Structures are given as structure tokens and as C-alpha cells.
Structure 1
Amino acid sequence: MMDATAKPLRVPPEISVYAEQHGIFDLIQKMVSSLLTDRPEDPIQYLIDMLKKSGGDEVPRIFILGPPASGKKTIAKMLCDQINAVLLKPEDFFLDDVSERVKEALSYKMSNKEIPNTLWAMLIQERLSKVDCFKRGWVLVGFPTTREQAVLLQEASVMPQHVVLLDAPDTVLIERNLGKRIDPYSGDVYHTTFEWPSDPNVQKQLVKPDNISEKETAKELLAYRRHYHGIFNTYNNICKTINADQPCIDVFSQVLTYVQQQHRSAAPFTPRILLYGPPGSGRSLQAALIAQKYSIVNICCGQLLKEAAAGDTKLGELLKPYIEYGQQVPDNLVIKILKDGLSNFDCTTRGWVLHGFPRDVEQATELKDAGFVPNRVVFLDITDDAVMERLTLRMTDPVTGERYHSVYKPPPNPKVQSRLQRNPKDSEDNVQHHLDVYHASVWEMEKFYDNVIHINADQDPHTVFEYIESCIVNPIPKKIQKPKTAELHV
């Protein structure tokens, strides 16, 4: 807790960790947004009811849009099978309900009149309020088709998380549409060339849908192109256009990847980065690059221990024998040093990148119990052979202090070569020992931390940095169920 008598007032680091873990800022942002959108008569009770609801924020809310024959329904069905969401098609809204709005919409259909956009918005809002959509999420296919419809949905508080626009050249779409066939019993869509059913009974019952001639398809495409930019601009920040002129499974893979992405939050974000990897994986270099670019604090555990041992303190006196004789410092002393370092004002306000600790689950647990939980955990993966090549061939010039490497940076001349020295810690036996220690803990460490990010460290350091950087600045993708083999057939 904050002490009002102590100046300056500082927010304890555990408060920001708690707020980030539980999405406090995003929750407040959603509550305020919902208040402004719905404008309830009793705002307090509205917010109480909203907080009592559970699961509403985590479920998918997706629009799948596109021109005729772009594969909207096929992709939407595959997506719903994958993420267990409710598949919503506008034509199905009239089948299972007998509400007054459905009756009104049916009266328009029976009279061959166009259903007003305001009524469509109310129908969709009514359907999305049902328990299945609230608990499982939903994927709406083929609506809205105009900017006016999109605006009316926004006014009705129908706000998707992701909007997917499937698109392809008109010539491709016309060819696809001519071969479309529909199963009148299941509603499944097939194609005479690209996706013909294997079941002979299904083949016999397929029918050719109305209005799929080349002329009629071209007319529908013209209408779609006229309204495309209006829809795209309405959902510009959450919309992605995907090329539908490729194998269905490739389109589905791109759609699934997109809907797993979380949009960037406006919440305050303090980087707390942990770099974990074997010796020679480049942790120190990557930490230095990150700290330099983003002005966060570089916390090297080994360096902190050396600085503490050099200090004229009781703790420094305890550390000196371990540092001088190259022995492992007890975990309780390391945690005390790290706690002091990570609690500094710079670390709590600017963030930190930690490397060299923890090395195993026991140390990771102690770090967590001390209140320091990283929000990005990066595993730098590299083979043992590559580590051996990187470390055992390193040498130092005792005269200039310059570092060389037999493969990557050989000495400039024989004179320098003759005086180079190798650090005993770079011997093959010592490096192998550290690799064995790493391999003994890496599997448990991966289980301990959620959302571990694996990066191949056996490549150019700046390429590795770019991968790490993208993982820091972008939200972590949401976890979605693993696909079942039967669900991925096309």
C-alpha cells in the first residue's frame, strides 16, 4: 500500500502487475465505452450487472464479409468448428424464433419487400443477446453489406473484435459462382470443380442456386464494389483483407491467425522482459539492444552481484567469497540483490529486461513470490553444436583487450594470433556442464511460464532482435483450441 506520509508517492510494483494480470485498465475502458454506447437509465446498476457477467470479454466476435463466391460461409463454418463459436447467417434468423421482430421481418419477406436496415440491426442485436452467443462467441457471415448497415449495428452496440474481408478478382469469383451447388437439407455449399462431395447420396440432392449466372453475378459484384470502401473505412482499425484466390485451407489458416491476434490496448504498459537461454545464446547482447532502443533498465544478474560485492556493505561482504572463488551465490542472496534492483524507481516506471536469472523453476518461483512477474518471456533457442562453436573458439588479446573468434572474427595477423588467450570458462568441459544444467531445467521452465515465446537464436543478432521486438510491441496472441484433423478437411 502507498504511504501518504512518504514523499514522493510511488505506486508499489505489485499494483501494476495485478492491474495488468487482471486487465483492470481494459475493463474500465470497456465499462466507460459501454456506458457511452448504451446510455442506460441507471448507470450504477448497469455497471454492477456488467461486472457480474463472466466470459463476455473473452469470446470471439467476428464478421466474415466479402463478395459473392469468395468462400465466406465455408471459411466461417471451418472457423466456428475450430473455435467453438456460433455460426450466424442472416437467412437463418427467421428459422428458430417467433419474436415480434422476426414476425415483422417475415412479413416483409412474404410481401417480396426489402427488410429495412434498422430492422436488420434489431434482429442481429436480438440474436446476439442469446446465451449461446454470449457464452461461446459468434461469427456473423455476409452482414453488413453497406456502410449504413454497419453504422446501425454500431448504434445497436454490435461491435466485432475482428472483421475479415475475403476478396478475389471478379473473373475468379464469376467462375466460382457458376459452379456453386447447395445441399438443400444441410445448407452446405459445394463446387463442381473445387469441392465436390464424395458421398453419392449428397451428390444427387445438390441443387443449383438461383441468380448465379455470369450477368447476375457481375451485377452483384458491382454492387459489392460500390459499398466496399464504406464498410472497410467503418471497421478500418479491426479489419483485414485476405486474398480468397488460393487454396481454402490457406485462406482458413490466415483467417485463424488473424482472429487469434489481440488488438493493441491503450492500457499503460511497463515492459518486464525475461530472456532465457543456454550460454552463448546472445542474452546479454539482446538485452543491451532492447534496453538501448526502448530506454528500459538492463538487469544482468551477474553484473548486479559483482557490483554488490564491490560495495562496502554487509551484503557485499557476504558476496565477496562467492564472487572471488567463482562459486554459485545462494538463491536467498541473489533474490535480495534482485529485489533491490528491480524495485528501483527506474525499473518500476520504465520497465526492465532481466537475464542470467532464474536458471530453474525453484529460482523462478522465488522471483514470483518476491512480486516480480515478467509479462514477456523469451526463450532463445540454439543447438549445442552452435553454442560450442560460439564459445570455445573465443579468444582475447591481453594487450588491447580486443575479442576475437576463430571463425567469425579471426585475428588480423600472426603477431596478434600468437598472444591471444582463451578464458578457462570457455573450455569444452565447462561449456558442456552449463549446457547440461540448462537442459535439465528448460522443460520445467517452459511449463512454469505462460505464453513463452520461442525464437531461433542461431541467426544474425539483429534478425533475432527484430523478432524479440515484434513480440514486445505486439499483444500476445490468444490461445485457441487445437484443431482436430476431421475439422480441417476441405
Structure 2
Amino acid sequence: MDATSKPHNIPPVMALYAEKHNIFQLMQSLMEALLVYQPEDPIDFMIAHLMKNNDEVPRIFVLGPPASGKTTIARWICKHLSATYLCPQELVQSMLLRRAREAMASESEDEKIPNELWVALLEERLNDMDCVKLGWVLDGFPETRKQALLLQSVGIAPRHVVVLYAPDTVLVERNLGKLLDPLTLEVYHTTFDWPIDFTVQKRLVRPEGISEQATAKRLLESHRNIPGIIQTYQESHKAINADQPCVDVFAQALNFVLSCPCSDAPFTPRVLLLGPPGCGKNLQAALLAQKYGIVNVFFGDLLREKVAANTAVGDLIKPFFESGYPVSDSIALSVLKNRLAQKDCLTYGWVLHGFPHDVDQADLFKHMGFEPNRVFFLNLPTEVAMQRISQRATDPVSGERYHTIFKPPTEEEVHRRLRRNPKDAPRKVETKADFYSRQVTGLEEYYEDGIFLNADQDPYTIFEYIESCLVKPLPVMRA
């Protein structure tokens, strides 16, 4: 394919297949793995990598100073994502790891475990089937930039790095109140997290190394090391203030780890806006077209253009307009297919509104080869739609549009000559809204990945949300 001869006439089905099966991301993942591990037999290595089928599993670091809540957040994330929980202490005590005895010997002699040994333990643990298939959340490691760089050198790279922070006074207070259950190793707090079970209460002990002086020393060490770790994971970290309710910290952390990093994959927007009359589809489509250069395709205008141009297709459409009946699906789809197959739509993408009206049309549209990759449902109560549409009017002299409530004319002369479109009559608006309400449930089930929006708010707030779903990948939904 000649890269200089753009736009390329790529069949739409190719783009649909590539997006549906994440072909670009798959190739990118394979290339990254090849460059990291540099296997002698690349083909066998790629086959083994594909058979793991774990490119989307969680790979998360949870970092922060002492008493910032790392363990709690890491365990909650594991529970929510069904991932494997890992921490340095469990690595050392695991008798299934070949070099765990070596690490325990270093600890028993009050020696610092070498960084290379930490990395070897973690590398071996991550090759276990639970980590490979379910993903993992690592609590409190790496502790230094050197450890982070060593992890990178052996190919251990997290997809998300959660960094917790809080004022030192808060952290010292939290740490001094810690108590440990020696049986389950669960951490409790005298003020914030006291166990309900009386048996657990009786066996709680005070952990070693949590005096005020020891805590201050660990905080100082953490403050020295955290900036270097953040620099290592500059593109994949999020700092979260831990000086707030734990559920709020968890909500922010979960929202982050469910997000997908921005992809370099080619993306052609194919946006479908669905909603009742008056929900603002026209405005949102115009805003998207203006900012991103995608083609604004209003189905009703397409049909009217064909009739106005006196084309053969227009002659077929005209009787439907005169009788007030919907245009037949075969004619409608033919007109729509011809428009979406043009080079501007294939090159820059499109935003479609006014079609489909029901599940049958949606299914025919899909089999035509122009499946949307973002579907937005703009929900609006019927009474609000009536207020928006039935009270709007146009000045036939200036062409200016007014609204009785939101934009009334300031001059009496303009007010007298305002004209309302017969289509905006309350009865007709109510009929259209009722038709949409009967069809929307089926459409919502058909477009199961649809995004739902409250259209009864500022239009630019709605646009910002639509925009965020276009420029960033959608969150990964895991069972």
C-alpha cells in the first residue's frame, strides 16, 4: 500500500474486524514482548504468548508511604477484579519459590535482601498460573527507583501504578494506632478499623517498628524514593490523596485501574447518536463535526437532498414525504450506504443521527458493513422535549430562531412575525417521542455497549462527556 496516496480505499469491513479483535494492540503487544525478552525462536515465543491470552489482565502496583492504606486498597482492588494479591512479605515466606530460603536467611541475620533477589522472587511468582491468568496487584513494591529499573530490565512492567499520599501528621497518627492479627495477618486500627469479633480483639498485637521515631524514619526514606519511582512510571501512574474516606480512595483507584491507556491504534470515529426529539442530537453532531472534522450525517437531510436534487432516488422518496409515511428500509439504506461509502466518511469518520429508528433497521445497518464504534443514548423526559420543541419559532425575515422561554425576541415586531414549524406542534412531538420510547428498549439491548447520557443538562457538559469517550478508550469491564 502506497503511504503517499491518501486517503486509502480500505474496505469498511477491514476496519471493523481490526477494531473488534484489537489487531493493532495485539501486534503492539507481541512486538513489545519480542523486544523485551529477545527469544531465540520468535515464532514459538509469539505462539506461546498468544496462548497465554493475558494481555488484558490487571498488572498493578500500589505504592505509598507507611500507613497510607496501600494494603487495604490493594486487597480491595484484588477482590473487585478477582486478581492475585502480592506483597514482599508473602514472597519471602512462600516455600514454593526456589530462592525464598535465601531471602529468609538474609532476614534472619538482619541483612537487607538484595534487590536482585527481590526481583528474582517476583519474576518467579509472576510465572505462576494464577498471576498469568488472573493478573496481579503488587502491594508496596518497588520501594526505590533502582528496584523499579531492575523490574523493567526483566520485563516486569505494570499497566497501572497507584501512588497514595497524605500529610505526615496523618500518617504518623494512623501508624501509631495499628494493631495486627497474628493469625490472619490482617491489620486493624484502634480508631478507624476496630474488629467486631471479640476473639479477634483479644489476640491483636502491636506490630514491630511503628513507634513515632521509627515511623518518621520510614517516612523520610519514602519521601526520598517516591519521586524516583514516579519518574520511572511517568506515563502510567496516578497520585491519589489518601487523607479521605477509604471508600473514596478506593473509588478513585478502581476508576484508574479500569481505564485503558491511550492507544496508538488508528481510530476512525463512527458515532451514532440516538434519542427522542429535542434531546440535542443535531447540536452534538455539529459540535463533533466542527471540532474533529468528522462528517455530520443527518439522515433526514440526506433524504431531503435527494428529493431537492430531482434524482431518480429522490423521485422514489417523494411519495413517502407527501403521504407522511416513513421511507422504505431498502431505499433508506441505499441512500445511507452511498453517503457513508464516500471518501470523506471513510477517511475522517462520521457522526450519524436520525437513523436507525428500530432494531430491524439497526440490524440491516450492521449487515451493510457500517457498524458504529460509539453509540450514545441521549435520554430526555417527554415533558422536557415538549417544552424545548413546541415553543420554538423562526423569524422569516432574518432566519433567526427563538424560544418562548430560553430565547424570547426583544422586539415586539419580531415577536409578531414569528412562525412555528407545523412539525413542532405538541401533538406531533408527542407522537414522535412515544414512538421512540416504544423502540428504545430494543435498541438499548441491540447496542449493548451503548453509552447513556442525561440530555437534560447543559449541552456543552454533554459534549465534553461524548468527547471524552472518543479521545480515550472505554473502561475495561471485567467480571
Normalised-by-shorter TM-score class = over 0.9
Deviation of 1:134 after TM superposition, in Å, equals 1.1
Cα distance in structure 2, aligned partners of 1:386 and 1:57:
45
Partner of 1:487: none
| Equivalent position to 2:273, from 272, 275, 283 | 275
Task: Please identify, of 397-406 and 280-289, the stretch whose mean Cα deviation from structure 2 is larger.
Answer: 397-406
Task: Please identify, of 332-341 and 392-401, the stretch whose mean Cα deviation from structure 2 is larger.
Answer: 392-401
Partner of 2:409: 411
Matched, 1:220 2:218: yes
SS at the partner of 1:378? strand
Structure 2 letter corresponding to 1:430: K
| 1:426-437 equivalence runs, <5 A | 426-437=424-435
Partner of 1:349: 347
Partner of 1:66: 64
Residues 4-41 of structure 1: CA distance to partner in whole angstroms, max 9, x if unpaired?
Answer: xxx99621111011101111011111111111100111
Structure 2 letter corresponding to 1:75: I
Partner of 1:29: 28
Partner of 2:137: 139
Q: In structure 2, do the counterparts of structure 1 residues 78 and 363 end up closer, same or farther at CA, with 3 Å as the change threshold? A: same
Cα distance in structure 2, aligned partners of 1:246 and 1:9:
52
Q: In structure 2, do the counterparts of structure 1 residues 392 and 185 end up closer, same or farther at CA, with 3 Å as the change threshold? A: same
Partner of 1:82: 80
Is the 1:309–1:323 contact (alpha carbons within 8 Å) kept by the matching residues of 2? no
Is the 1:271–1:351 contact (alpha carbons within 8 Å) kept by the matching residues of 2? yes
Residues 161-186 of structure 1: CA distance to partner in whole angstroms, max 9, x if unpaired?
Answer: 11000110011000000000011111
Q: In structure 2, do the counterparts of structure 1 residues 424 and 117 end up closer, same or farther at CA, with 3 Å as the change threshold? A: same
Matched, 1:458 2:471: no
Partner of 2:387: 389
Deviation of 1:340 after TM superposition, in Å, equals 0.9
Structure 1 letter corresponding to 2:209: N
TM-score, normalised relative to structure 2? 0.96
Task: Please identify, of 302-311 and 292-301, the stretch whose mean Cα deviation from structure 2 is larger.
Answer: 302-311
Cα distance in structure 1, aligned partners of 2:164 and 2:230:
12
Deviation of 1:191 after TM superposition, in Å, equals 0.2
Cα distance in structure 1, aligned partners of 2:210 and 2:102:
29
Structure 1 letter corresponding to 2:332: V
Structure 1 letter corresponding to 2:433: L
Partner of 2:42: 43
Q: In structure 2, do the counterparts of structure 1 residues 406 and 312 end up closer, same or farther at CA, with 3 Å as the change threshold? A: closer
Task: Please identify, of 79-88 and 7-16, the stretch whose mean Cα deviation from structure 2 is larger.
Answer: 7-16
Is the 1:322–1:328 contact (alpha carbons within 8 Å) kept by the matching residues of 2? yes
SS at the partner of 2:235? helix
Cα distance in structure 1, aligned partners of 2:352 and 2:62:
42
Deviation of 1:478 after TM superposition, in Å, equals 1.2
Q: In structure 2, do the counterparts of structure 1 residues 378 and 227 end up closer, same or farther at CA, with 3 Å as the change threshold? A: same
Partner of 1:291: 289
| Equivalent position to 1:165, from 163, 180, 183 | 163
Cα distance in structure 1, aligned partners of 2:51 and 2:122:
24
Deviation of 1:133 after TM superposition, in Å, equals 0.9
Task: Please identify, of 123-132 and 91-100, the stretch whose mean Cα deviation from structure 2 is larger.
Answer: 91-100
Cα distance in structure 1, aligned partners of 2:51 and 2:469:
33
Q: In structure 2, do the counterparts of structure 1 residues 338 and 407 end up closer, same or farther at CA, with 3 Å as the change threshold? A: same
Deviation of 1:195 after TM superposition, in Å, equals 0.5
Is the 2:52–2:133 contact (alpha carbons within 8 Å) kept by the matching residues of 1? no
| Equivalent position to 1:243, from 241, 244, 268 | 241
Cα distance in structure 2, aligned partners of 1:98 and 1:353:
55
Structure 1 letter corresponding to 2:250: F
Where structure 2 has 5 or more consecutive residues not aligned to the other structure, the ranges are none
Structure 2 letter corresponding to 1:268: P
Deviation of 1:382 after TM superposition, in Å, equals 1.6
| Equivalent position to 1:129, from 127, 130, 136 | 127
Partner of 2:368: 370
Partner of 1:447: 445
Cα distance in structure 2, aligned partners of 1:53 and 1:17:
25
Cα distance in structure 1, aligned partners of 2:350 and 2:477:
26
Structure 2 letter corresponding to 1:53: K
Partner of 1:102: 100
Partner of 1:257: 255
Deviation of 1:294 after TM superposition, in Å, equals 0.5
What's the RMSD between the two structures over aligned residues?
1.7
Matched, 1:478 2:476: yes
Is the 2:275–2:281 contact (alpha carbons within 8 Å) kept by the matching residues of 1? yes
Partner of 2:10: 11
Cα distance in structure 2, aligned partners of 1:91 and 1:336:
65
Structure 2 letter corresponding to 1:300: F
| Equivalent position to 2:206, from 208, 211, 214 | 208
Cα distance in structure 1, aligned partners of 2:461 and 2:176:
47
Deviation of 1:196 after TM superposition, in Å, equals 0.3
Partner of 2:326: 328
Cα distance in structure 2, aligned partners of 1:342 and 1:350:
11
Cα distance in structure 2, aligned partners of 1:74 and 1:412:
61
Deviation of 1:398 after TM superposition, in Å, equals 2.7
TM-score, normalised relative to structure 1? 0.94
SS at the partner of 2:138? strand
Structure 1 letter corresponding to 2:106: Y
| Equivalent position to 2:227, from 226, 229, 234 | 229
Partner of 1:306: 304
Cα distance in structure 2, aligned partners of 1:364 and 1:268:
25
Cα distance in structure 2, aligned partners of 1:443 and 1:160:
40
Cα distance in structure 2, aligned partners of 1:171 and 1:75:
20
Cα distance in structure 1, aligned partners of 2:249 and 2:476:
19
Structure 2 letter corresponding to 1:435: A
Cα distance in structure 2, aligned partners of 1:35 and 1:312:
59
Partner of 1:425: 423
Cα distance in structure 2, aligned partners of 1:199 and 1:424:
71
Task: Please identify, of 265-274 and 465-474, the stretch whose mean Cα deviation from structure 2 is larger.
Answer: 465-474
